[in-house]
Amino acid sequence: MNKKRLINAITFAITLLFLLTTAYAAEKEKKIKLNVPICFSTELPGLGTTISWIAKRIETASAGSLKMKIYEPNKLVAPFEILDSVSTGKVNAGYSVSGYWAGKISAAPIFSAIPFGPEAGEMLAWLYYGNGLKLYQEMYNANKYNVKVLVCGIIAPESSGWFSKPINTPEDIKGLRIRFYGLGGQVMEKLGASVSLLPGGEIFPALEKKALDATEFSTPAIDERLGFYKVAKYNYFPGWHQQATVFELLINKDVWNQMSKHQQTVIEILCKAATMDSFAYTEAIQSKAMKENVEKRGVRNMYWSKEMLNAYKKAWDEVVAEQSAKDPFFKKVWDDVSAFRADYKMWQTYGFLPRPEPPK
């Protein structure tokens, strides 16, 4: 037998052995169906499509021992009730962003998006190879939530809002009724805005009825689906509040602990793969949406002035100081991510090309 045939034979034998072992393991495993309410529609690219990507592959990847059924927002559980529902066992899993739990856990938003914080690569580095994921799970454990958390998707970055008129100075923020997410929302409050956090499906009606003056939600390709351009023509960049947005798959801890090591590994691998896919996919589709907004919808893509970015940064520093003083766990996480970023800084400084100058 020549060398090529030998290698092919060995490869075939290893593959066959893996398939037989997996099939045998799956036969002996308890079959588990994950019923997953989600907080974003599966029509929204990178928000709802990511968990759908997993649902389409989990049965094959687990050799039939795992299945997943997705429930659109409010079909099984309301978006803001997902954490409690998974923890109590009302449902055995859920898909969301940690910032939605800010009213329950003040440190929660820091695991989904950090103003003026890490971009996607740096954020994933901290989560996977720093202390991020460890602290993420510690947060839920310390607050008595019976959940296993997995990072399961990332997009970067978002736009920072849709406005009906230009915002030229910090004074223009005062009194503005705006939907704004997470820690960035606290920054807007510092500048005098009236901030609310509405689920995606409720934003457009609020804008249309003038209950809101402005909103941020996500990336241009996602915002396009929600029609914000119909009622607000000034789309501002960069998304200083969300340079990276992380999504979470929550699994009831009792259910997670009942899974075999094989089943847990399948879910972990699929979540990592889905995280890569969500980032690549959403990066690929933004320019088209931005161009069409300008050419077909009369939108103006605006870039924040240095004065406005400095005002946002100053207000963010105040939010950090206040939150760290009030919540020891917030301070613990903030100190950790700050130390990671300080160490990362040398690579960031030397490793990347300069950014193009922003438009005038």
Q: Quote the percentage of the chain above a pLDDT of 90.
A: 89
Is residue 162 within 8 Å of residue 232, measured between CB atoms? yes
The whole-model pTM stands at: 0.90
Higher-pLDDT residue of 15, 78:
78
Among 251, 284, 317, give the residue marking a domain's end.
284
Q: Are residues 177 and 276 in the same domain?
A: no
Q: Are residues 227 and 263 in the same domain?
A: no
Q: Are residues 280 and 201 in the same domain?
A: no
- Inter-axis angle of helices 132-142 and 120-129, nearest 10: 70
- What confidence tens digit (pLDDT) does each residue in 75-103 have? 999 999 999 999 999 999 999 999 999 99
The answer to whether residue 188 sits within a structural domain is yes
Task: Say which CATH number the domain at 176 has.
Answer: 3.40.190.10
The answer to whether residue 193 sits within a structural domain is yes
- State how far the alpha carbon of 289 is from the alpha carbons of 44, 166, 230, 279, 326, in Å: 13, 21, 14, 16, 41
Total structural domains within the chain: 2
Q: Are residues 130 and 197 in the same domain?
A: no
Among 336, 355, 334, which Cα is nearest to 107's?
A: 334
Token pair 């996480």 is found at 333
The answer to whether residue 41 sits within a structural domain is yes
Among 164, 214, 195, which Cα is nearest to 99's?
A: 195
The answer to whether residue 110 sits within a structural domain is yes
Q: Which two tokens stand for residue 100?
A: 């939605």
- What confidence tens digit (pLDDT) does each residue in 58-81 have? 999 999 999 999 999 999 999 999
Confidence tier at 16 by pLDDT (50, 70, 90)? very low
Residue 6 CA, chain-centre distance (Å), reads 46
Mean pLDDT of all residues in the chain? 93
The answer to whether residue 313 sits within a structural domain is yes
- Inter-axis angle of helices 286-297 and 261-284, nearest 10: 40
Residue span of the structural domain in which 217 resides: 162-240+300-326
Q: Are residues 278 and 319 in the same domain?
A: no
